[in-house]
Structures are given as structure tokens and as C-alpha cells.
């Protein structure tokens, strides 16, 4: 029974993904999603209360792999916390969902719809990666590699800056301006965690990109 439910759940997400490549989000109805998925409309509401809930589940699915990788990193305490932080930063750059980068989808979205989708992605990415990065920072503090009294706040600040700047849609800027911001963030991380200037410069190689990332 569980297997059948799981298959239907995935079909619903697949249907929305397919429809988003052909038409505006605003014009997609729950009935159309059901028809595309090949299931009854009533089945949709068994899994999701609304179209927005389906979209949020699609966002979650598209981030599943990079977030699982991030969680694995948090558990690898034999690796330096700085290296793992850098890899989390890289996850921010590389975890853009495939359907947002598809030309077919981009051509169907108007500005408000694209902004809505991007907001969903950024919110989910920050909220999902925050506990992972917090855990890594706490481990660094416990081992004496970092000195900071508010690890969760530090994780949230770093992720918000990275996600907003690398997305480059809320405040569009040149690659050079984005790099300057990242360098400034790393400098603040060094000062805030008691590390010498330049010690975390290697983190920039994980975040530099001229592409829109989220």
C-alpha cells in the first residue's frame, strides 16, 4: 500500500514539473496536474492540500541530494570543520534546481512567478542547511578550531548572505561585486571565530561563480 502511495506522490510532482515547462504557474490547475499525472483529482488532495503545497514538495525533492550530502558532511568529524564549511558553501552554489535553469521553464514564467519560485527555493535552502552548518560550527567550537558564542546565528547569517548573493536576482550585481561580498563574509567569519586574517581565503574557491546559482 505504501509503495502505491509513494508512486502516486511522485507522479504528482512529476506532473507539476512537466507542466511548469509548458505554461505559467498561475494557469496550472489542480485538475490539470491530476490529468497529467494520470490520477483522479481527489487523489491529489489525499497528499496535498493545495497547488502551493505540491510546489513546496517539488522544491524539497529537487534539493534532496545536495541536502543529504550536506548531512553526511556534518557526520564526518574526521574532516576539518573548515573544509566541511567550504563544502557546504559549495552546496549553496551547486544546489540550484534543474527546472529553474531550463530554458523551457524560464520562458513560461512571468517576473512575479519567477520571484515566487526563487523565494521558495531560497527559504528552503537556508532553513534546511542551517542546522547542518550549525552542527559543523558547534563541532569546530568543541575541538577548539572556532570560538563563537552563537553558532546557529552565525550559520544563518552566512547562509542568507551566500544564497541571496549567489542567486543574484534580489539585488543583481556583477560577478566582481559578488566576489567582494563573499570575501567580506569570509573576513567576518575569520574575525568572529578567532582565526587569523587570510586563514579562510580558500573558501572563496567554493563560492566563486558568474552563474545564477539558485
Q: pLDDT of 103-149, one tens digit each?
A: 455 566 677 777 777 788 788 888 888 998 999 899 989 988 888 89
Q: pLDDT of 190-199, one tens digit each?
A: 888 888 887 7
pLDDT of residue 176: 84
Report residue 212's pLDDT band, with 50, 70 and 90 as the boundaries.
Answer: very low
Q: pLDDT of 160-179, one tens digit each?
A: 888 887 777 777 888 788 88
DSSP state of 169: S
* φ and ψ at residue 79, rounded to 5 degrees: -95, 140
How many CB atoms neighbour CB 110 within 10 A?
11
CATH 2.20.110 applies to domain 63-206? no
pLDDT of residue 151: 92
| 2 has pLDDT over 50 | no
Considering the chain, what percentage of its residues have pLDDT values greater than 70? 83
Cite the beta strand spans of 75-194 per DSSP E.
Answer: none
Closest CA relative to residue 90, chosen from 168, 189, 202, 193: 202
pLDDT of residue 11: 94
Among the ranges given (33-47, 73-87, 124-138), the one the predictor scored with the smallest mean pLDDT: 73-87
Task: Report the C-alpha dihedral over residues 18, 19, 20, 25, rounded to 10 degrees.
Answer: -160
| 64 has pLDDT over 80 | no
Rounded to whole angstroms, the Cα distance separating 120 from 134 reads 21
* Residue reference for cell 550549525: 134
Closest CA relative to residue 89, chosen from 185, 170, 176: 185
Q: Under a CB-based contact definition with an 8 Å cutoff, are residues 135 and 84 in contact? A: no
Rounded to whole angstroms, the Cα distance separating 193 from 146 reads 5
The count of residues in the chain is 214
* Residue reference for cell 481527489: 42
The structural domains of the chain, with segments of one domain joined by +, span 2-51, 63-206
Helices and strands in the chain: count of H runs, count of E runs: 11, 0
Model pTM? 0.73
pLDDT of residue 92: 66
pLDDT of residue 209: 47
What CATH number has the domain spanning 2-51?
1.10.10.60
Closest CA relative to residue 158, chosen from 132, 123, 126: 126
Closest CA relative to residue 126, chosen from 97, 88, 156, 170: 156
Amino acid at each position: 500500500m505504501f509503495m502505491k502511495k509513494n508512486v502516486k506522490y511522485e507522479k504528482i510532482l512529476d506532473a507539476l514539473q512537466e507542466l511548469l515547462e509548458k505554461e505559467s504557474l498561475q494557469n496550472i490547475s489542480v485538475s490539470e496536474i491530476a490529468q497529467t499525472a494520470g490520477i483522479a483529482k481527489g487523489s491529489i488532495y489525499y497528499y496535498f492540500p493545495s497547488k502551493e503545497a505540491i510546489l513546496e514538495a517539488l522544491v524539497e525533492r529537487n534539493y534532496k541530494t545536495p541536502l543529504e550530502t550536506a548531512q553526511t558532511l556534518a557526520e564526518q568529524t574526521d574532516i576539518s570543520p573548515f573544509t566541511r564549511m567550504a563544502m557546504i558553501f559549495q552546496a549553496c552554489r551547486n544546489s540550484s534546481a534543474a527546472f529553474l535553469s531550463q530554458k523551457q521553464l524560464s520562458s513560461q514564467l512571468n517576473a512575479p512567478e519567477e520571484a515566487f519560485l526563487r523565494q521558495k527555493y531560497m527559504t528552503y535552502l537556508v532553513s534546511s542547511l542551517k542546522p547542518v552548518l550549525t552542527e559543523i560550527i558547534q563541532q569546530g567550537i568543541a575541538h577548539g578550531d572556532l570560538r563563537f558564542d552563537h553558532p546557529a546565528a552565525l550559520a544563518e547569517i552566512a547562509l542568507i548572505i551566500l544564497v541571496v548573493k549567489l542567486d543574484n536576482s534580489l539585488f543583481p550585481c556583477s560577478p566582481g561585486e559578488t566576489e567582494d561580498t563573499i570575501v567580506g563574509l569570509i573576513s567576518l567569519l575569520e574575525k568572529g571565530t578567532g582565526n587569523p586574517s587570510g586563514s579562510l581565503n580558500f573558501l572563496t574557491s567554493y563560492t566563486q561563480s558568474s552563474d545564477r546559482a539558485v
